[in-house]
Amino acid sequence: MKRNTIRIASIQLAQKATKAETYAHIRALVSTIPDGAADLLMLPEMWNGPYESRLFPTFAEPEDGPSRLFLSALAKERHVYLCGGSIAEREGDRVYNTAYVFDPEGTLIAKHRKMHLFDIDVAGGQRFFESDTLSPGNSVTVFPTVFCTVGLCICYDLRFPELARLTVDAGAKVLLVPAAFNMTTGPAHWELLFRARAVDNQIYTVGVAPARDPDASYQSWGHSIVCSPWGEVLMQMDEKEGVAVTELDLDRVEQVRGAVPVLKQRRTDVYRLELQP
């Protein structure tokens, strides 16, 4: 039976020196969540290696690598859905920024490869080119849960409203976004974009970021966030490591869509958004 709420645990993680240490640290953080207190756990973007484009190929793993196996086991142990943030995934001679999702039995039920690569050069601010080492994915990703249909994208994908809308057209009521905005884009656009996509699509948006590491070459803004279909900020962390559980009232989605029916009022006689074959 579907419930009308879903409880999401946002894990704003401080990465450790090795993957093994990070796995152990994630387990320790998850252990602070009481049994049965969360329905879905969510990790940040690129949590198992440095957020440096030149290093992505170094710590990339095949789909059946140790990080995926760790995530699958954790979902099964806690009997929860798990959005495993994202990691560098290797397939042949290509490397992708990939998010895996598992059901409470530890079965892989969704996989999203970041579609829009983060290539920016802001004067006096951040310069970063993921395309130096990463390849883009080509799929819009949604997955079923016993609670509702959930959409998934990664970080820079959020800036492209077409992608969020396509997940809604596929039935999503919640959009999960593992992300790692930086000290240039974070203060300017982090909250703005999560609230905008929530209002545009009348869905919940959930962004989980790494904790800020002052010694890292790439400084994460942090500030993991949850926004409502009305654009309210329901939860937002600071830059430090932490865990927060937020309960989402799924009936609120239909209430907002009924009150302001923008999704029904689209002028499909004039314009249309559709996937290419």
- Catalytic sites, residue numbers: 45, 114, 155
Query: Sheet holding 225-227: strands in order across?
Result: 141-144, 149-152, 172-178, 204-208, 225-227, 233-236
CA-closest candidate to residue 96, choices 59, 132, 136, 130: 136
The helix or strand, by DSSP H or E, that contains position 248, with its residue range, turns out to be strand 242-249
What is the CA 162 to chain-centroid distance, rounded? 17
Evaluate whether 221 touches 182 at the Cβ level (below 8 Å). yes
Residue whose C-alpha is closest to residue 67's, from 111, 104, 31: 111
- Residue pair 83/68 in contact (Cβ under 8 Å)? The answer is no
